[in-house]
A and B are shown apart, each in its own frame.
Chain A
Amino acid sequence: MREMNESVEPPVLEISDLRVAYGSRTVVDGLAFRVDRGEIFGLLGPNGAGKTTTLSALEGLVKPLSGRVVVNGVEVQRYPIEAKALLGVQLQSSSFQAELSIEQIVKLYAGLYGVRLSRAQIRESIRTLGLGEELGKRFKHLSGGQQQRLALFIATIHNPLLLLLDEPTAGLDPQSRRTLWKRIEKLRGDGSSIVLTTHSMEEAQAVCDRVAIIDHGKLLTLGTPAELINKHKDDPEVLAVAHGAVTLEDVFIGLTGDEIRD
């Protein structure tokens, strides 16, 4: 995990008073946080808490009712194209044109991000992903782990400043999950900042420098995993659900409740 120093640099991402509604239902309600350069930031929350909607607002997919989203000084709502050029995005369910081969998908997305790659460079990069045998295959014919590797590669094809990953390890086996964690660490090492959503507290503790727990679109708490445990370990709601030493999951359940969400 990275040594966090109090940042003097401007944040890579700054969200202030973000509000998003679908019709009359408010999904994100006054959310505010910042992500520093080289930081891995986890967005935790139960189903329907507003995690994906928050990411959608960052990606310019939904229009907020109010608030600002600024990526490296570029306001997403005012300059969407410039902001999108700074972002790498892996959606919760990434899908590519079923008729295109892997090689053609890489060529397409490289072009969309303004990256000029020769055929040899594309093939070499696909080989480094361990998909050399699958060059001519269609996306839908890849395994879950292979699809995930390709989706992450495409999200980082332009060397983005900020990478947004929506539940990147959902449905992966433990080996693929660990491999992905290493890739995320490497991307941070290469200079990217990362915002990821996850349901896995193990993942949040293993990968994230700081996490924010949100529910009903509101920020409940924010800090390093160790800080959150320390801050909430004596809360009655947290103690009520803890079995032995308080964990991040106890804090999460204590703050968001134990009812099942759909």
Chain B
Amino acid sequence: MRSVIDDRNSAARPSLALAMRSLLLADSIVLLRSRVSVVLSILLPIVVLVVTTFGKAQSRLGGSDLVIGLALILGLLTSCLLGYSLTLAHDREMGVLQRLRVTPAPTWMIMTSRLVVQVATNLIASAIVMIVGTILHGLSLNAGQYALILAIAVLGAAMFLAIGQALVGVVKSSTAINAIGRVLFVILLLLGLLGGSGILGDTMKTIGDWSPVGALMAFFSSVLSQATWSAQDGYSLLACLGYIVVFSFIGIRWFRWDAQ
């Protein structure tokens, strides 16, 4: 077998491009084989879209724009908060991350590869959910709106991945991360939906509007209802960017490659 590091005496730096390609390929295979996460992130939103076509469910939830927004968020939340964080914690516990870390691949590359594959999968899943949603709920969107929704989906994926990363940063055990992730999933969803609806009072509405799910819902809703850019959209964008910065900082600062 021939090595590209032919001279054993030299301190050669292996090709970063080859290392990145190898990681991206492996991470894509791993993600596609984690069927539960992939299926849930597509199937769950589609079930919501189908169920809300019956009776008055759609209007009770605030119209088709909110329903599609909710479906998109459900997919992102399931895949990023539950799927990503749990896989990362499991790999850390099993020593997979340490094994990768002793290779010449820089640590930023190991993590970036996982995030890129995750965001790309979320983008494809969001496109599927959006197409199914517009068909089932009879919306007609132009190419610009489709592009804008996908851009918001990337923003949402980044935000929920940052929250997932922070969770893996501050909690070591994968069992605890699984449990906390589920509770967080419900809290974020309820805060965004019930809080944002105003039925729990004005204070909860303000909190809900500024929560990760609430901010993202407002964004999706604006684009799907073809509303013009408002001050609320600006606040939502600020909130999303703020969550990304804060939770990424926590997730990077306190992240440990070894569970022990």
Interchain nearest-CB distance for A204 vs B (Å): 24
Does B22 lie within 8 Å of A107, measured CB to CB?
yes
Partner of B9, one of A72, A81, A115, A159: A72
Residues of A within 8 A of B47 (CB): none
Complex: A61 Cα to B97 Cα, angstroms = 11
Q: Does B1 contact A (CB under 8 A)?
A: yes
Interface residues of B in 1-48 (CB under 8 A from A): 1, 3-5, 8-9, 11-15, 18-19, 21-23, 25-26, 29-30, 33-34
Does B33 lie within 8 Å of A99, measured CB to CB?
yes
Q: Does B147 contact A (CB under 8 A)?
A: no
Does B98 lie within 8 Å of A108, measured CB to CB?
no
Q: Does B198 contact A (CB under 8 A)?
A: no
Interchain nearest-CB distance for A224 vs B (Å): 25
Interface centre among B3, B25, B91, B102 (most CB of A within 10 A): B102
Q: Does B99 contact A (CB under 8 A)?
A: yes
Residues of A within 8 A of B104 (CB): 81-82, 84-85, 112-114
Does B25 lie within 8 Å of A85, measured CB to CB?
no
Number of interface residues of A (CB under 8 A): 43
Does B19 lie within 8 Å of A96, measured CB to CB?
no
Complex: A87 Cα to B257 Cα, angstroms = 20
Q: Which residue of A lies closest to B2 (CB)?
A: A115
* B 87-122 to A, binary, CB cutoff 8 A, 1 in contact else 0: 000010011101111111110000000000000000
Interchain nearest-CB distance for A162 vs B (Å): 10
Q: Which residue of A lies closest to B31 (CB)?
A: A99
Q: Does A63 contact B (CB under 8 A)?
A: no
Residues of B within 8 A of A60 (CB): 101-102
Complex: A94 Cα to B8 Cα, angstroms = 25
Does A113 lie within 8 Å of B103, measured CB to CB?
yes
Q: Which residue of B lies closest to A93 (CB)?
A: B95
Chain B's interface size range is: 35 or more
A95-B11 in contact given A81-B106, A84-B104, A159-B3 (Cβ < 8 Å): no
Q: Which residue of A lies closest to B96 (CB)?
A: A95
Q: Which residue of B lies closest to A97 (CB)?
A: B30
Q: Does A13 contact B (CB under 8 A)?
A: no
Interchain nearest-CB distance for A87 vs B (Å): 7
Does B26 lie within 8 Å of A86, measured CB to CB?
no
Does A72 lie within 8 Å of B11, measured CB to CB?
yes
Q: Does A79 contact B (CB under 8 A)?
A: yes
Partner of A115, one of B4, B98, B257: B4
* A 93-132 to B, binary, CB cutoff 8 A, 1 in contact else 0: 1111111100010011111111111000100010000000
A82-B103 in contact given A99-B33, A108-B22, A117-B1 (Cβ < 8 Å): no
Q: Which residue of A lies closest to B91 (CB)?
A: A97
Does A82 lie within 8 Å of B13, measured CB to CB?
yes
Does B4 lie within 8 Å of A99, measured CB to CB?
no
Interchain nearest-CB distance for A258 vs B (Å): 28
Interchain nearest-CB distance for B15 vs A (Å): 5
Q: Does A165 contact B (CB under 8 A)?
A: no
Complex: A159 Cα to B106 Cα, angstroms = 20
Residues of A within 8 A of B8 (CB): 86, 159, 161, 191
Does B11 lie within 8 Å of A74, measured CB to CB?
yes
Interchain nearest-CB distance for A61 vs B (Å): 6
Interchain nearest-CB distance for A57 vs B (Å): 12
Q: Does A59 contact B (CB under 8 A)?
A: yes
Residues of A within 8 A of B33 (CB): 99
Residues of B within 8 A of A161 (CB): 8-9
Interface residues of B in 164-220 (CB under 8 A from A): none
A116-B30 in contact given A91-B102, A108-B23 (Cβ < 8 Å): no
Partner of B99, one of A96, A157, A159: A96
Interface residues of A, Cβ cutoff 8 Å to B: 59-61, 72-74, 79, 81-87, 89, 91, 93-100, 104, 107-117, 121, 125, 157-159, 161, 191
Identify 5 residue pairs between A and B in the complex whose beta-carbon atoms are under 8 Å apart, listed by A's number.
A81-B13, A82-B13, A85-B14, A112-B23, A113-B3
Interface residues of B, Cβ cutoff 8 Å to A: 1, 3-5, 8-9, 11-15, 18-19, 21-23, 25-26, 29-30, 33-34, 91, 94-96, 98-106, 257-258
Q: A61-B258, A85-B11, A107-B22 are in contact. List 5 more A-B contacts (CB 8 A).
A: A84-B102, A85-B13, A85-B14, A108-B26, A112-B22
Per CB-CB distance, the 6 closest pairs between chain A and chain B, nearest first, are A111-B22, A114-B14, A82-B11, A99-B33, A112-B103, A95-B95
